[in-house]
Chains A and B, each alone.
Chain A
Amino acid sequence: MASPESAVNGPTMTAGAASKSLRNAFGGVIAFIILVLIGVLAFSIRLFSVIKYESVIHEFDPYFNYRVTQFLSKNGIYDFWNWFDDRTWYPLGRVIGGTVYPGLTLTAGTIWKVVNSLNIPLSVETVCVFTAPIFSAFASWAAYLLTKEVKGPGAGLTAAALLAMVPSYISRSVAGSYDNEAVAIFALVFTFYLYIKTLNTGSLFYATLNALAYFYMVCSWGGYTFIINLIPMHVLLCIVTGRYSSRLYIAYAPLVVLGTLLASLVPVVGFNAVLTSEHFASFLVFIIIHVVALAYYIKGILSPKMFKVAVTLVVSAGLAVCCAVIAILIAVVASSPTKGWSGRSLTLLDPTYASKYIPIIASVSEHQPPTWPSYFMDINVLAFLVPAGIIACFMPLTDSSSFVILYIVTSVYFSGVMVRLMLVLAPAACILSGIALSEAFNVLTRSIKFQLPGIAGNPSIASEENGSSTVVAPNDIPKTEEAAKEKPAKKNRKKEKENVEKKPTPSKTEKRLLVLPLEASVIAVLLLVLLGAFYVVHCVWAAAEAYSAPSIVLTSHSNDGGLHVFDDFREAYSWLSHNTDVDDKVASWWDYGYQTTAMANRTVLVDNNTWNNTHIATVGTAMSSPEKQAWEIFHSLDVKYVLVVFGGVVGYPSDDINKFLWMVRIGGGVFPHIKEPDYLRDGQYRIDAQATPTMLNCLMYKLSYFRFVETDGKGFDRVRRTEIGKKHFKLTHFEEVFTTHHWMVRIYKLKPQRNRIRGKTKKSKSSRSVSSKRDVRGKRNPWH
């Protein structure tokens, strides 16, 4: 990590002629090589999942994205746009084209098409698996660009290197994790880069690019609302702190106009881009910046006295306009049903909102607030470097560094609300840590350099004088530490402006810098290198061990060190695809919906796109009901098979029994006859002998624990660490058709309706035994 700093010291400002431009070129080449290596690192550190497991799509949502990509590559973009999927959300169906963020799919589809047109026969799956690593390399480069705009190339390279292996980002972008975030983080950082670039240059070209990058972000991820709120916040901050400039206007106004127009082209966003509250902040700031621009313009053309008169006029008129606009806004917001905020955004602002009102949002594990250890796990030493980075950004505080500070502050808040948004925090943390590390190395290496007798002529003088003017001339070794400048040729036009703004700041910094004692500097450098080494070790460990499991294949280490593989999910899905009719409907909790449609190609009732709460509640109610009622619910929805995930045999903790209370809650939210207290004994959720009768008789319990006692004779559940309450029972309305090798997935079939309706007479013993005997033979299904 130390290498980028020493190698890429910025070109000096003073005219040093040939040697300088040579050093420029040399530094550029080195930086380029380092960036390439960072890209390789970002790509290859994410391949652990492929090497340790296999090249498969991971988890849940990626399976849906994969299926959509397959559809896209097979049917083309128009069919994708108009795709009505009749295999999910039976019988409602889902309009896929209008409800997905198409960015990821289109990206992978394009890559696949390009690669195939080059006669490289990659399968769609391969392309999907490797999309995320490729884009994390892009994201690293984008982080380099962004940080370079803020603090120069040294900080940029450090930030890029940090981002290439930050565990938080790795967790969402290992090979196979084919999810929106894979490309969205790149889009996010790149959009921010272009914004900063526009802000620094005031170029309309970059402003347009910025709008396009924003469009790509809108296509990719719902998290685009973060951008469209953060940038207005920053603009507001600049205006309030008196930093308004024409560059700010150019950076902001085109983004709002073009960005909103482009965003409304994405079917899933559509009119939301102008109708929902998430976007109102940008419009408000848009108005404000025009008022401010007008004020500055008037100030420029009027004499100071006239201006004072004008200010009074404008302020009063502006206040009136603002009041009117705010009144309109409030009216619009108040008239919309959710006060203009969708549930998920309300969760962001009020962390208790979801758990109070929307169980379906609160039930998702990645929507939970993170714990403190997860910060250490996910950003590791960056958590300690970020404060230093913030301090570094304050000296000197520029437009761009204030943006970075704002970015880190807001993303820290959001990551505290939802563990998933740790992902937004990661780039910010990397950028600030990169700045911190780079600044620290700057200070420390300079201290060393000036005090080493053989290199610096007179360290004591150098330290006291203004660095930029004194040190350059006598030495060949690059040493000036001032903030880097781009090549002057390009920027002649803006030279004056820049000089006005930037010139004074570096010299001010230089003056404040003190030279540390040599020994302390050396030790500090060593410690920093050690810190970096720990970070690398941690990241590699996280990439290899913690975040590479595809979650459809599980492994465990036995006591003798052997590896045990649980491939039950794919076993179950392939059983379904080989043994059931193509139009059969499979009911399961929504977690497994995407996988069932993608891997088993069977119609499901609900899936991970939780757009219809009632439908999910129906399934939850069925799972929480006794067998007969559950049979009736499922039968009315034409369900043929019911799939449950059960971890009690092998100790797989995220099984349906552990998720069951959410089913009860979500079901009870719509169908009030399902009451959560019925399933709890004294407020405790238990499945042992103390469990309530409702719990012991509900479908989920029965389907999970049917024949479970046969495994060990006692019915000891290894997840709940207890013996189950009801061990011996028969199913009346369902029959077990398949249970995977480790019992992790169990598939049941709905018994057909009985052929005859029996008389009501209490049966004599003999005939009952007769009927149960037939039951065992499984020829018919007498149920009462």
Chain B
Amino acid sequence: NEQLAIPQLRQSSYRHETPPTNPSRRCLHLGYFGGKRLHKISWSAPKPSPLTRSAPMAKLAIFFTLTLSLLPFLSHSFSPDTPTDRRILVLLDDFSLKSSHSIFFTSLKSRGFDLDFKLADDPKLSLQRYGQYLYDGLILFAPSVERFGGALDVAAVLDFVDSGHDLIVAADTTASDLIKSVATECGVDFDEDPSAMVIDHQGYAVSDVDGDHTLIAADELIRSDVILGKTKIEAPVLFKGIAHSLNAANTLALKVLSGSPSAYSANPSAKLSSPPSLTGSAISLVSVVQARNNARIMISGSLDLFSNRYMKSSVQKAGSPSKYEKSGNEQFVTEVSKWLFHERGHLKAGNLRHLKVGETGEPAMYRIKDDLEFYVDIFEWSGNSWEPYVADDVQVQFYMMSPYVLKTLSTDKKGLYHTSFKVPDVYGVFQFKVEYQKLGYTSLSLSKQIPVRPFRHNEYERFIPTAFPYYGASFTTIFFFYLFVFFLVIKTRFAGALQMAGFFIFSVVYLYNNRMVGRPPFSIL
């Protein structure tokens, strides 16, 4: 585990205000991003900067500095500056899909992706070479493949995801165990019955032939601008395929397109003998999963959803008067793929800073009741550049086993979030925690440890007004004690009395100056 440095997101003025503090005090937890990704980034060395032309040692130093400063951005394994997948491997059952689904592929290409089409049972199939991944994304349009060719298997696909890459899986009625097990590993359970399809006798798409209502005009879309874009998808999405369900406890998976209340999953050609296992809105037609390392996965129960035929066809939902010239498929698929390949909803946060009010530089420790200011930078990837992320619901916790302070951060709309608060009257090892989990966005989990100490011995109030009677009592006692001794002594020896008087004055001054420091034990004297 390397020491994670604090990221420097932009050339902000904070950098030179913040002298390097003790690294042991600074800590940045990045949630659950696996260790493997750290290696990856150190391989993909940053672009040479002008500085790298200096001496080799300096180069090395700069390399490490840059690498370290980039580490926190490992929420995506590719270059943190451009978190978009560039090379995508598309695995097909046969090459005819290449033309039958060309609209989807063309839209990807036009957004700058390199697509590499291969047959799913290609014996030379491999995702990585020499420990490095050759692709940034994987599209599995091969529902019926029983076994991948080459070095690829379920484990390799999941490793690919777990190292931060994105995945699209499309199944249909012919879905093999292989595809289903990939989906299961990602938290999506396809219907067990291999012959079952989604049937909806009310939400089917009106077509010329009155079929078995397996072609569905689905319009139960997730309400999220991040995933589906700002433009509302008006037309229903045509779907023909198999149903899957999500475990309710699975917080990572989302139903993007779910079945209508009247949908159910059964074999259309057989008679329904028992109640179907999957019914109504429990059925998910298309789901997305955002793994804890922010790799994104899309699982669709229908391969045809992506096809040119469905995209172009007109659609009318049964029982609905409105007929659309064009189905919502193209818009739906395009928008979801934009989200999937991190063109939307990808946040990065960093540069957690805090300082005591009125001071520059980050302290290594706070005292109870200190006033502090807290800053964090949050940016969103827009597809080609980092834009400030603007939201009013980002919160920071001042946390020790439970949040002692919970404050909503205000933003300057330039990516900088800020708040200030008073350290609670509790000492201990606290953390600044930013836990931001918003539907569709990458989850942010940053924390920074900071100890809070109690007052020092000389930081207490010097005199407490309510205690003046006690001070008075102490001094009176002292005074009369010396008076007593004075008279006791003067009876015998005058010089001694003088000494006593001098000692008395000295003692009072001394006590007054040194002993009445606020700490209770000292006020005794």
Contacts and interface: CB of A to CB of B under 8 A. Distances in A.
Contacts of A767: 154, 181, 184-185
B32 A755 contact: yes
Contacts of A760: 189, 247
B435 interface: no
Interface in A80-125: 81-82, 84, 86, 90-93, 95
Contact of A770 (B1, B155, B457): B155
A759 B162 contact: no
Nearest to B289: A756
B451 A93 contact: yes
Contacts of B454: 84, 95
Contacts of A81: 457
Contact of A779 (B25, B159, B161, B185): B159
B525 A93 contact: no
A753 interface: yes
Interface in A448-503: none
B276 interface: no
Given A82-B456, A93-B451, A757 B1 contact: no
Contacts of B181: 763-764, 766-767
Interface stretch (B264-272, B422-430, B479-487): B422-430
A91 B292 contact: no
Interface string B323-336: 00000000000000
B401 interface: yes
Nearest to A637: B401
Interface string B483-525: 0000000000000000000000000000000000000111011
A697 B370 CA distance: 46
Contact of B427 (A93, A636, A758, A773): A93
B186 interface: yes
Given A270-B521, A753-B292, A763-B184, A780 B251 contact: no
A91 B184 contact: no
A712 interface: no
A285 B27 CA distance: 57
A225 interface: no
Given A761-B189, A763-B184, A267 B292 contact: no
Contacts of A752: 32, 34
B291 A580 contact: no
Contacts of A603: 429
A754 B521 contact: no
Contacts of B36: 779
- Residue from A92, A582, A603, A759 whose CB has the most chain B CB atoms within 10 Å: A759
Interface string A496-539: 00000000000000000000000000000000000000000000
A581 to B, nearest CB: 5
Nearest to B246: A759
A759 B524 contact: no
A265 interface: yes
A233 B352 CA distance: 62
A696 to B, nearest CB: 28
B153 interface: yes
B187 A759 contact: yes
B510 to A, nearest CB: 16
B243 to A, nearest CB: 14
A615 B293 CA distance: 32
Contacts of B453: 82, 84, 86, 93
A244 to B, nearest CB: 24
A770 B178 CA distance: 12
A774 interface: yes
B184 A82 contact: no
B154 A770 contact: yes
A90 B429 contact: yes
Interface in B150-193: 153-155, 158-159, 161-162, 177, 181, 183-189, 192
Contacts of B456: 82
Interface residues of B, number: 56
Contacts of A753: 32, 292
Given A93-B427, A95-B427, A758-B185, A86 B451 contact: yes
A314 interface: no
A366 interface: no
Contacts of B521: 264-265, 267, 270-271
Contact of B524 (A90, A91, A261, A583): A261
A48 to B, nearest CB: 39
Contacts of A90: 429
B233 interface: no
A390 B198 CA distance: 99
A677 B500 CA distance: 72
B252 interface: yes
A759 B292 contact: no
B162 A756 contact: yes
A760 B25 CA distance: 42
A752 B33 CA distance: 8
Contacts of A779: 36, 159, 162
B429 A261 contact: no
B449 interface: yes
B291 A756 contact: yes
Interface in A721-768: 752-761, 763-764, 766-767
A267 B517 CA distance: 14
Interface string A653-673: 000000000000000000000
B24 interface: yes
A323 B449 CA distance: 57
B400 A91 contact: yes
A84 B181 CA distance: 53
B337 to A, nearest CB: 20
Given A754-B292, A756-B162, A756-B289, A82 B189 contact: no
Contacts of B430: 91
B49 interface: no
A92 B522 CA distance: 27
B250 interface: yes
Interface string B7-51: 000000000000000011101000010101000000000000000
A91 B401 contact: yes
18 contacts: A78-B457, A84-B454, A91-B401, A265-B522, A270-B520, A583-B27, A584-B1, A752-B32, A752-B34, A755-B162, A756-B158, A756-B186, A758-B184, A759-B188, A760-B189, A764-B181, A767-B185, A774-B158
Interface of A: 78, 81-82, 84, 86, 90-93, 95, 261, 264-265, 267, 270-271, 580-584, 603, 636-638, 752-761, 763-764, 766-767, 770-771, 773-774, 779-780
Given A91-B431, A767-B154, A780-B162, 16 more contacts: A86-B451, A91-B428, A92-B428, A270-B520, A583-B24, A583-B27, A753-B292, A755-B295, A756-B161, A756-B252, A758-B185, A758-B187, A759-B187, A759-B247, A770-B155, A774-B158
Cβ-closest 5 pairs across A and B: A86-B451, A84-B453, A759-B184, A91-B429, A759-B189
